[in-house]
Amino acid sequence: MRRHRHAKIVATVGPASNTPERLKALFLAGVDTFRLNFSHGTHDDHAKVHAAIRALEQETGRPIGILQDLQGPKIRIGTLRGDKFDLATGDRIRFVRDGREGGPDAIPLPHPEIFAAVAPGQELLIDDGRVRVRVAGVDDDAIDADVVVGGPISNRKGVNLPGTVLALSPLTEKDRRDLAFGLDLGVDWVALSFVQTPSDVMEARGLIAGRAGLIAKIEKPSALDHIEDIIRIADGVMVARGDLGVELPPEDVPGRQKELVRACRRAVKPVIVATQMLESMVSAPSPTRAEASDVATAVYDGADAVMLSAESAAGRYPIEAVSIMDRIIRRTEQHRLYRSLVRASEPEVEDSPPHAVAAAAATLADAIEAAAIVAFTSSGTTAARIARKRPNVPILAATSDTAVSRRLSLYWGAHSVLGPEIDSYEAMVDRAAEVAAQEGFAQAPDLVVAVAGIPFGRAGTTNNLRVVELGRKASGV
């Protein structure tokens, strides 16, 4: 089964999409990786979805990625007298560490980390920034603040602190239980919420211990201050524009998105652009033109994947949302400006043989109009290095590792092929021709470019390049 596009689709599973029948329909419509949102649902719910996806994988014969998204810490106010009240601009209010039911003079904020971190002049955003207050004074047990933007607040509304780094692990006790459960299930990727510093990523990486790829969700401005180190430590990045857009001025988010996509491409790490991409399709059968343009912009930027959240998890039109996202990606990648825009943002290749060989393979494949590039990879790195160049030909990522084949479903342009490990030049040539033909990408006398590392089977040793004409022996390069 072949996708006629390079960028991938991630779709969130929820009540609108969690049956085997719906999961199959979503996969056939274009989903490459399914997201399990552990902010909702029980372990039993997620286990059933995981089993259904793995059964679908067996039925279709195609690797399917599963992304576990951890909830992370939730900073919220407590309960209020009467459940809610209005704040007017200019009001002076007080937050307190303790208290069961509060009013404007004692709003419960049961998070000691905030009292230890905030300083006068900093802002607190309530209910996704609908209400904004500025800190006037703080001590161990109370924060006095002036209302900058008034409005209603109600029980348990979220609180954001732009520009404030909290002494708070991104992994709550719930997250640790969820992570252990997901790793035992066999998820392929884990998305870490509330990343503020590189040490947050290190903590999660130690717990995952190589059993899944680690995606750092960039939703805090403080993460942007350490982004190069975070990208280096993580296995990939999610541009979580919803939360990021609360704490950053909205006019800054598009530029930050482009920076993150470019930085991940330079580091050879997959990047997902997420949140509100086709938001109107939660209740409408088609997106707005602005939403279609938003998806296309991420594709023009060179993102590895674009993601659906509520659209596929709880919306009325989950299959239609995936279908239109698939069509937007394909039409964008076929546009006459696509190649020039992707090349314009192409990062410099690192000065090393593996990166140079991968880049040469992509350039050569485009130059000779090859039908495909067959990348033999034990860890996925060879395919990822080739994908960084964003060639105009498909990348067949041939691996003997089932886990690697599933993770590759998130990488730009990679079509995973599971098979035996090669152990010689002759096997490489024969297998490249066989894979390209069997998967429907080439036929005699088409050319394919085969890339591998010698010694065979050793991760990270991209150093050999061959041109193979189907039906004939190879010519070495």
Beta strands in 195-256 (DSSP E): 213-218, 236-240
Q: Which residue in the list 3, 217, 220, 466 is annotated as catalytic?
A: 217
Q: Which of 144, 142, 234 is nearest to 192 (CA)?
A: 234
Contacts of 463 (CB under 8 A, 6+ apart): 353, 354, 357, 453, 454
Rounded Cα–Cα distance for residues 144 and 127 (Å): 18
402 is a catalytic site residue: no
CB 447 within 8 A of CB 473: no
Reduced to 3 states (helix: H, G, I; strand: E, B; else coil), residue 44 is helix
Q: Which of 390, 458, 425 is nearest to 5 (CA)?
A: 390
Phi-psi region of 275 (alpha: psi -120 to 50; beta: other; left: phi over 0): left
Q: Which residue in the list 275, 382, 399, 462 is annotated as catalytic?
A: 275
Rounded Cα–Cα distance for residues 100 and 119 (Å): 25
Q: Which residue in the list 22, 48, 74, 76 is annotated as catalytic?
A: 76
- What's the gap between Cα 317 and its chain centre? 22
- Size of the chain in residues: 477
- What's the gap between Cα 16 and its chain centre? 21
CB 376 within 8 A of CB 386: no
Gyration radius of the chain's alpha carbons: 24
Q: Which residue in the list 5, 35, 132, 389 is annotated as catalytic?
A: 35
Stretch (H or E) spanning 225: none
Contacts of 434 (CB under 8 A, 6+ apart): none
What is the identity of the amino acid at 465?
L
76 is a catalytic site residue: yes
Phi-psi region of 124 (alpha: psi -120 to 50; beta: other; left: phi over 0): beta
Q: List, by residue number, the catalytic residues.
A: 35, 76, 217, 275
